[in-house]
Amino acid sequence: MAEAEGEQRLAERVVGGMLERDAFSQWLGISVLAIRPRGATVSMRVRAEMVNGFGLAHGGVVYSLADSALAFASNSHGRVTVSVENSITYPLPVHVDDELTAVAEEESASQRLGYYRVTVRRRDGAIVALFRGTVYKTKNDFFARRPDEAAQGEGESNR
């Protein structure tokens, strides 16, 4: 149980640090509703400046919401993780003032790769996007030790 609590605290700390430095997710107006190891739920409201020439939310906006959910979920274990391949399907249009929620979950993982599914829904529960992402797990910890900490050789780990 203590290990699970530690993983949860790490996930929250990582995502908090990521969001603090992520100007684009901030511009999108993304709120983190839930974070857990290898999973995240985020939301945003579509604003007028996010629509395309057809009056629909630009696909890149919906993609970016899903991509942010993927980033938060896949980095929650504390190692820097980057996307290597993503795809998205848009079964329904999205309009101004739609409230969107994206749920990212790890489906499978190996030592170096993670495979994620992100489902984006409108407030009414309708699925507006289905996103799949593959990520590469680097060897770098999100909270890298400073050189003076490494020289001490003792103390708390990177987690």
Spatial distance between the Cα atoms of 97 and 112, rounded to a whole number of angstroms = 39
Cβ atoms 105, 113 nearer than 8 A: no
Output the pLDDT for position 147. 47
Of 18, 47, 55, give the one whose Cα is nearest residue 35: 18
CATH number for the domain formed by residue range(s) 2-152: 3.10.129.10
Domain spans, the chain: 2-152
Output the pLDDT for position 144. 65
Q: What is the DSSP string of 94-114?
A: --TT-EEEEEEEEEEE-SSEE
pLDDT in tens, the chain (159 residues): 677 788 999 999 999 999 999 999 999 999 999 999 999 999 999 999 999 999 999 999 999 999 999 999 999 999 999 999 999 999 999 999 999 999 999 999 999 999 999 999 999 999 999 999 999 999 999 876 544 444 444 333 333
Spatial distance between the Cα atoms of 41 and 105, rounded to a whole number of angstroms = 9
